[in-house]
Amino acid sequence: MGTLGRRRFFRAVLWIVAASAMVGTVARGAGETPRRVERPEPVIAAYLVNFARYVTWPSDSGAAGAPLVLAVVGPDTFEGALERAAEGRTASGRPMMVRKARTVADLGAAAHVVFFAPEAAKNALPAPAMPPGALTVGIGPGFLEAGGMVELIVREGRMTFAIDLRRAEAAGLSISARMLAAAAEVRR
Amino acid sequence: MRKHSRAAVVVAVLFAPFALRAEIDLADLDFEALAQVEIISVSRRAEPVFEVPAAATVLTGNEVARLGRRTLPDTLRFVPGLFVGRINQRDWAVSARGFAAQFQNKLLVLADGRPLYTPLFGGVFWDVPAFVVGDLDRIEVVRGPGGAAWGANAVNGVINVVTLPAERTQGAYVQGVVGSDHRGGAVRYGRRAGEHWAWRIYALGDDFSATRAAGGTGDFGDAWRRHRVGGRADGVIGADRWMLQAEWFDHRGGSRVLVPVRATAGQPALFDRGTRGHGGHVLGRWTRTRADDEASTVQFFADRARYRQPFGGERRDTLDFEAQYSGRIAAHRWSAGLGYRWSGDDTERGGPAQFEPPKATTTIANLFAQDTWTLQPDRLDATLGLKLEENSRAGFEVQPHGRLRWRTDSGTVAWLAVGRAVRNPTRFETDIRYDALVRPPGALGPGTPVSVVRWSGTDDIRPEELWAYETGWRRTRARWSAEVVGFVHDYRRLSDVVPVGTPVPVQDELGPLLVVPYRYSDTLRGHSYGVESAARCEFSPAVAARVAYTFTRVVQSTRAPGVNEVFFERTTPRQVAFVRVETQPFADWECDVAVRSVTRSRWVQTPGYVAVDMRVAWKPRSDWRLEALAENLTDPDRTEFLGGADARSAAVPRTVHLRVTWER
């Protein structure tokens, strides 16, 4: 018996695919699988959307209803996760939009939540070109020391955050008590 | 469709929906719930390469792109511990720890976990692996009988080429290269389709021109071209990942070799049959990760390929199914798996190499288990592993291995390893009838007719066995790292082809003939030993250097009057070294220089050589890159290695190529 005839070959392939699908299902345990994601980006995106909801910006020059800008500075590894998180959601009645920039200088006039990708965070702050009233967010450790306002902390596979309240208030931002309570650390 | 096919389709369709679950929308969660979401890629304590207790090297996709080489063997020149010898434009000898030969059978090469060697003679067609470099995640090379997980024929090492998942290769990628002996291009387009999955499709084509003979007298007939089309899709469903990949390839080349042909009364004729490899495969994988170090993976692939070489050819179908599980119990990290492979071939009749029987199948079932016991957390651990394999042609084999690893806080790792590996006999060794040499009348004495040296395979041949003893030390710091590995490999039952009995006069339709019989045997013993060392240093953000030095010696302990009488000892050069300096002289420019040196191989009768390559790259914008690569600037037109009977050695020319890459 040498090579299979074409028909038998493709039939064998079908059986193997079926077997794999079966094994994939049967191996699944019954009951709820706890929430798990592969990469941190969807969780970061969810946090940025939440920050936009629980922070109040000073009187914006924009009209009421003008979108809140969530910006990413540096290499973008979100693969659309931030756009998907922002889509269809509002913060204080305002829609959100996403902007990407290579450096702070490219940010433009208005940015409300600015996330620094790890590669861009080194030496990025303090940034004279930063739009006024922007909430700066980065991944720790060391982001607060470097001059940021909110540091995302990854510990044992879970993500929480720390706030430098003094710096945020100095920029005219007001952080809701709810967010302060949820923070792992608040520096005043 | 036949009844069984329909049933299979129904089963697949019925079960598939149960395997799907909607992903929760994270942005709807409040802070407390978000803080509970587990991020697998961060929590999984994947072992960084520098802590692996094995002689392992990883070339990342960026490093492969930076090297800018046009074929896989050229890229492998820069893996410490490997010897790469170019035979001609299409044929290579790549080896680890000795036994360099065109069709060496001791290195396992995998593409995304799928083996690229043919069990017909256990070797790898080095022209076959081809990838869109922008889609490469990494090339992992493990020297030594790498891990219980890898499988048959991973005796001296494993090379695994891993491509990126589809969601990491989004957008368009176009590359074109043109130069003194090569024109080619690659195109890829990838896109996210929906929330949870992404895909990419790609095509690549290359045209390598024949090496010109010195003095302008014709060429070596080693021109070839390749085409490849494929796609990959990856998706995530909750904590599960799936992947599906399919590819079709077609490689064709000329191969003008001297093949003894009886019809012309023993005068060797220049045989221009050409070579071709074409085929395709489908591969699917499903991985579920539960928590730290707990995962289960199921993989299948179906592969159909047809290879034609001057000496013969085959059509081969391979079906493979594997499952792997890993977990953690207290201080033990365990993994286990099982696999089943069916491989059937149909060999060509009429060429110099005939297989008796012409068609055959091999089934291999294997079971493996491995446990890493943490004796002192982050300091000392011991690994014990076992692989059991049942091969329908070679029987039952046990391959144990053990490793001990010691780590310090400051990034130093020292390790010891002992292991046994087995290489199953190939069809060439058991079933071949090969007219290796044809001599004209009178060559064996006055009055003798045409004579033929005929190799026969034998069922009595047993698997080659290796016991490997290795030790390594590695220190990694932010700006530099260094590694030294020492090894001793003890081989038993190395295969050889030995003369048996006296020449036999035979009469057939072409006239009288004297057959000098040779037969495969497994009585050779030998050992190899050596040192593999490498270091990397980043002098400044703009200047980095890599150095590697490898010493290998093969010693045969039995002297049997066979074909391999001193072959193994002589083919592998004793010392291989390279130095690479990578610089970034200006913001968007890269300039790299590599100097590589190989001492002489006594079999090839070439002196050692020193080759210099240079690469200059310019990135005017984030999506464009222009490169110029000049190879073999010094010492051109040397011969690096000899081929087997059917590959002529061509001089290695000085070449210059320009490459343009656009990626968005």
Question: What is the DSSP annotation of A127-138?
Answer: -TTSPTT-EEEE
Q: Is the dihedral of CA B510, B515, B517, B518 positive or negative?
A: negative
Q: Is the dihedral of CA B385, B79, B556, B645 positive or negative?
A: positive
pLDDT confidence of residue B510: 73
Q: Which residues of B touch A18 (CB under 8 A)?
A: 8-9, 11-12, 15
The pair of structure tokens assigned to B201 is: 């499709």
Q: Do A36 and B304 make contact, defined as CB atoms within 8 angstroms?
A: no
Determine the distance in angstroms separating the CA of B88 from the nearest CA of chain A, rounded to an integer.
Answer: 31
Q: Distance (Å, rounded) from C-alpha B487 to C-alpha B507?
A: 52
Asked if residue A21 has pLDDT above 60, the reply is no
What are the helix (H) ranges across A27-164? 41-54, 81-86, 118-121
The nearest alpha carbon in chain B to A25 belongs to B19
Candidates B18, B241, B317; nearest CB to A4: B317
In whole angstroms, what separates CA A86 from the centre of its chain?
A: 10
pLDDT confidence of residue B151: 59
> How does the average pLDDT of chain B come out, rounded?
84
Determine the distance in angstroms separating the CA of A24 from the nearest CA of chain B, rounded to an integer.
Answer: 7
Of chain B, the percentage scoring pLDDT greater than 90 comes to 38
Q: How many CB atoms lie within 10 A of CB A142?
A: 12
Nearest in space to B69 (alpha carbons), one of B578, B432, B441: B578
Quick one: pLDDT band at residue A35, thresholds 50, 70, 90? Answer: low
Nearest in space to B24 (alpha carbons), one of A134, A150, A8, A34: A34
Candidates A9, A21, A40; nearest CB to B16: A21
Q: Do A79 and B192 make contact, defined as CB atoms within 8 angstroms?
A: yes
Quick one: pLDDT band at residue B244, thresholds 50, 70, 90? Answer: very high
Asked if residue B106 has pLDDT above 50, the reply is yes
Quick one: pLDDT band at residue B116, thresholds 50, 70, 90? Answer: confident
The pair of structure tokens assigned to B38 is: 């587990």
User: Which tens digits make up the pLDDT trace of B144-198?
Assistant: 886 445 556 678 888 989 999 898 888 899 999 999 999 999 999 999 888 789 9
Q: Do A28 and B19 make contact, defined as CB atoms within 8 angstroms?
A: yes
Close Cβ partners of B46 (under 8 Å, ≥ 6 residues apart)? none
Quick one: pLDDT band at residue B293, thresholds 50, 70, 90? Answer: low
User: Which tens digits make up the pLDDT trace of A41-97?
Assistant: 889 999 999 999 999 888 665 566 788 899 999 888 887 788 888 888 888 888 899
Asked if residue B564 has pLDDT above 80, the reply is no
Close Cβ partners of A6 (under 8 Å, ≥ 6 residues apart)? none
pLDDT confidence of residue B123: 81
Question: Which ipTM value was assigned to this complex?
Answer: 0.76
pLDDT confidence of residue B415: 94
pLDDT confidence of residue B229: 97
Quick one: pLDDT band at residue B602, thresholds 50, 70, 90? Answer: confident
Q: Do B298 and A157 make contact, defined as CB atoms within 8 angstroms?
A: no
Question: What is the DSSP annotation of B121-136?
Answer: TS-B-TTS----GGGE
Question: What is the DSSP annotation of B214-280?
Answer: GGG--B-S--EEEEEEEEEEEEEETTEEEEEEEEEEEEEE---EEE--GGGTT--EEE---EEEEEE
B294 contact A CB<8A: no
User: Which tens digits make up the pLDDT trace of A95-117?
Assistant: 899 998 888 888 877 889 999 98
The nearest alpha carbon in chain B to A84 belongs to B195
Q: State phi, psi for A105 to the nearest 5 degrees.
A: -60, -30
State the pTM of this model: 0.76
Asked if residue B581 has pLDDT above 90, the reply is yes
The nearest alpha carbon in chain A to B43 belongs to A157
